[in-house]
Chain A
């Protein structure tokens, strides 16, 4: 029942219902006042709205096409820029090590090696740690700490690459040289394989330092993706497994991770793509030496570091072209990695949709 409380009067009806002239009501309701002028005005409005509609749609389409154009532009400019170097060296370029700007001879094997090895080191460290962080945050961490720790780990992804570079050069490398490299080199001096892998002099900077800093940089990417996919594991699966008496470790390792392995691998590939193309952090700490040394502690170079270091100093067209061809090689490698990552994650998305 609708009851009007006493003492509270409804406003008189005519106060609300008064319609002050035709201006407030829709013109279509007033059959009589609809003149020819009104009609044509409405047609005009509709026409203009329709034209604006087409224009808007075209603008959106053009913007979307522009993304494609940028992408093809990137590939195109790299290909065109690297033609002189390709003509001069052909496929020798990617299999020879010698990089002699003064003699106009360029071989890209050392930077390619550096890029691949630093990224491999980064993945070897960051993958287990990233998955560990994700498991810790989704399953083990006490709830109140979950958000702050999650945000802190994500902060690592927000710190710009150049900061990792300057920190790596001034703070980390000297510390690493004194407290890690020296003891390790001394410890493995007599062990057959390890002595060449971790031999040489402790420079602080080098391939391993670059890989280690890269691993810190990509850690948040891996843990973020792993966290996301871990949350897609249906809780019945976990509950069933716990119900059978599994330990947390068994639930994680034998139920959750197999369930979301595609996502984890996809996320890892995405992180690998980042590691391959990372420039400033690597440039500062890799040592910039165009050579391949069996020791991981030795200075080396990577594709992006070589470009960043030498591009503005490249004096001859062939030198510039060789650096652009390096860029092309980098782009092709990252494209393959990122495309694979995306296809994997896309398949996952589709499976989730079903």
Chain B
């Protein structure tokens, strides 16, 4: 009896320890989140001002804003989404509608998932070799393409997943009415999966709006306002990187302002995506 009691006690103790540790793990994660967001909001809000949106990046020691970087980020992200979405949409459609169990689909799916979580800096090297070297210079085109390469796998994955959720009965019903397959896909399955596909695009935008590594040696950066897509173009993440490692205090402030802008964009997009997803489920 005494032996059993110690065993019981030991098991109770182990259990309490375990519950404590897993609670600790959750607290650990939340504390970091709070730590990061607090620092970001504190430093970011003190950098917020109208000139942040109306003036271009200044030389060290003078006042300025991030207008050219915001413009560049918007232009390149938009371009990347415009290029990447149709390709991703069609590739995802191929995987879900035409070749679900085929060998080619298996390979494409495999490769796509590698691209999805592979290192983005390698994407930058690829576009550097593909576009920057032949064009003899960094350009917004190269930056846009490197972001598009990141958009594609995200859209492929979500499109396929969402199309697979569409019940086969819908497809069969449409086909039985005599609709050709492309009509079934465009007017029935795409429509049924629309919310999910838009969620995927939003997530892709969220992903690329903070993406820095591939832009460093494709779009490079530009400290004056430029709308020429064959020339280097500034972008928010690249400016943050450049300003943060500089020794100038006012550049640091601008970097924090940019960091808050980027994070706010990403968070708003993620929340939108989540709302859309929930709306579809109910």
Contact = CB atoms under 8 A, between A and B. Distances in A.
A, B from the same assembly: yes
Interface of A: 49-50, 52-53, 55-57, 59-68, 70-71, 73-74, 77-78, 80-81, 128-133, 135-137, 140-141, 149, 151-153, 155-156, 158-167, 169-172, 216, 219-220, 223, 247-250, 252-253, 270, 273-274, 276-280, 283-284, 304, 307-308, 311-312, 324, 327, 330-331, 334-335, 338-339, 342
Contacts of A56: 181-182, 185-186
B62 interface: no
Contacts of A137: 26
Contact of B259 (A78, A151, A155, A162): A162
A172 B122 CA distance: 27
A20 to B, nearest CB: 24
Interface stretch (B51-59, B74-82, B100-108, B166-174): B100-108
Given A67-B108, A155-B33, A163-B210, A327 B122 contact: yes
Given A61-B98, A78-B125, A170-B43, 13 more contacts: A57-B98, A62-B90, A64-B104, A71-B115, A129-B29, A135-B22, A155-B267, A160-B210, A166-B255, A167-B36, A278-B119, A311-B216, A342-B110
B126 A274 contact: no
Contacts of A61: 94, 98
A53 B29 contact: no
Nearest to B220: A312
A63 B86 CA distance: 8
Nearest to A346: B110
A336 to B, nearest CB: 10
A52 B180 contact: yes
B242 to A, nearest CB: 11
Interface stretch (B64-72, B149-157, B193-201, B222-230): B149-157
Q: Is the interface of B mostly helix, strand, loop or mixed?
A: helix
Interface of B: 11-12, 14-15, 17-19, 21-26, 28-30, 32-33, 35-36, 39-40, 43, 86-91, 93-95, 97-99, 104-105, 107-108, 110-115, 117-123, 125-126, 128-130, 149, 152-153, 156, 180-183, 185-186, 206, 209-213, 216-217, 220, 237, 240-241, 244-245, 252, 255-256, 259, 262-263, 266-267, 270, 274
B11 A67 contact: no
27 contacts: A56-B181, A60-B90, A63-B86, A63-B89, A64-B90, A64-B94, A66-B152, A68-B107, A68-B108, A78-B122, A153-B26, A153-B29, A160-B211, A160-B212, A166-B240, A169-B245, A248-B19, A249-B18, A279-B121, A279-B212, A283-B241, A308-B213, A324-B125, A335-B114, A335-B118, A342-B110, A342-B113
Contacts of A304: 119, 121, 213
A220 to B, nearest CB: 8
Nearest to A141: B26
B270 A158 contact: yes
A135 B112 CA distance: 30
A277 B118 contact: yes
Contacts of B183: 49
B11 A250 contact: yes
Best-surrounded residue of A57, A64, A159, A216 (most CB of chain B within 10 A): A64
B129 A334 contact: no
A301 B32 CA distance: 24
